Amino acid sequence: MKPLNRLKDLILEKVPLSEVLQSYHVEFSYDPNKADEVQFKCPIHGTDNKPSARFYRETQTCYCWFCQKRWDVISFIGDKEGLNFVGSIKYIIDKYKLDTTDIPDFDIGPSKPRVVTEDDLEFKKTQENIFIISIRGKIKEYRGKISLERYRTLCGAFYLILFDRFKGNDALLNLRKFESKLEKILLKK
C-alpha cells in the first residue's frame, strides 16, 4: 500500500481543480485558467440565485460563502461521488490514470507485536472528543423540542459517560452505544 499523503500530493499536483469543476458542468463567470479568483454557482448545496462559491487558482481550492464549505479536488470529488477520503483518492487515480509507480509502498518489515504509543492514546482521545462534541450538539438540537424530563434524562446519561471517561475508563464504546440509542430516544418525543 502506498502512503496516502504522497498520493494526495500527486493528485493535487497533477489534477487541476478547474478542469474537474468543468467536467461536473460548473459554469464560471470568467475563465478559471486566467483569472486568480473566479465566482460560480455552488454545485454542492444546490441551486444559487447568484454565484456564491469562489475558485482560487493559486491554491487550487474553492470556498462557498453560502454553505461555508471549503474543498480541493479530492474533497470535491468525494462530495459529488459520495466517497470518503481513501475512496476519492482511488477514484481519481483510476479516472485520471495517474502513474503512482514512483511512490514506494510502505515498508512494513518483519511482523512483530505492535506497541501502543502516546500518539495512539492521543488519537483515541481525539476520537472520543469528536464523539462528545457530536453527541452534545445532537442533544442541544432537541432542547425545547422534547419534554424537560426527557431532556434532563439525556443530559444525565451523557454526563455519566463523561464521568466514566474522567475516571480513566474506555468511553468510546459507551459513546457509540449512546449515539445509536440517541436517535431512537429522540424520535419518541
What CATH number did the domain enclosing 28 receive? 3.90.580.10
Q: Poorest-confidence range of 14-23, 25-34, 101-110, 179-188? A: 179-188
- 176 and 144, same structural domain? yes
pLDDT at 169: 66
Q: Within a domain: residue 101?
A: no
For residue 28, give the DSSP letter. Answer: B
The answer to whether residue 108 is domain-embedded is no
The answer to whether position 113 is within a domain reads no
Which triple of cell numbers denotes residue 105?
A: 509502498
Do 128 and 80 fall into the same domain? Answer: no
pLDDT band at 5 (very low <50, low <70, confident <90, very high): confident
CA–CA separation, 151 and 145 (whole Å):
9
| Whether pLDDT at 180 is above 80 | no
Average pLDDT for 109-130: 62
| 105 inside domain | no
Whether residue 174 sits in one domain with residue 123 = yes
Judged by DSSP in three states, 129 sits in helix
Q: Say if residues 103 and 41 touch (Cβ distance below 8 Å).
A: no
Tell me 110's DSSP state: S
* Final residue in a domain of this structure, among 95, 127, 142: 95
Q: Give the count of domains, the chain.
A: 2
Specify whether 28 is located in the same domain as 64. yes
Residues 128 and 82 in one domain: no
Q: How confident is the model at residue 123 (pLDDT cuts 50, 70, 90)?
A: low
Average pLDDT over residues 160-188: 68
55 and 10 both lie in a single domain: yes
Do 70 and 137 lie in one domain? The reply is: no
Q: Measure the CA dihedral 40/42/43/48, to 10°.
A: -100
Whether residue 145 is found in the same domain as residue 65: no
What is the pLDDT at residue 72? 92
Residues of the chain above pLDDT 70, percent: 77
Query: Is residue 189 very low, low, confident or very high in pLDDT (cuts 50, 70, 90)?
Result: low
Q: Is residue 135 part of a domain?
A: yes
* Residue 111 covered by a domain: no
Question: Mean pLDDT throughout 77-88?
Answer: 89
Burial of 106 (0-12, 13-18, 19+ CB in 10 A): exposed
User: Are 7 and 18 in contact, with CB atoms under 8 Å apart?
Assistant: no
With bands split at pLDDT 50, 70 and 90, how would you rate the model's confidence at 46? confident
Residues β-bridged to residue 54: 39, 63
* pLDDT at res. 121: 58
Which of 80, 95, 110 is the last residue before a domain boundary? 95
Sheet with 53-56: strands ordered across: 37-40, 53-56, 61-64, 70-71
Q: What is the mean pLDDT of residues 146-170?
A: 75
Residue 15 has pLDDT above 90, yes or no: yes
> 103 lies in a domain?
no
Same domain, 35 and 80: yes
pLDDT in the model for residue 25: 87
Compute the distance between CA of residue 142 and CA of residue 93 in angstroms, rounded to an integer: 43
Show the domain range for 43: 4-95
Q: pTM of the full predicted structure?
A: 0.54
The answer to whether residues 129 and 82 belong to one domain is: no
Structural domain includes residue 138:
yes
- Using CA atoms in the order 16, 22, 26, 27, what is the torsion angle rounded to 10 degrees? 110
Amino acid at residue number 8:
K
Pairwise CA distance, residues 176 & 168, whole Å: 17
14 pLDDT exceeds 60? yes
Better-scored residue on pLDDT, 94 or 44: 94
Do 22 and 87 share a structural domain? yes
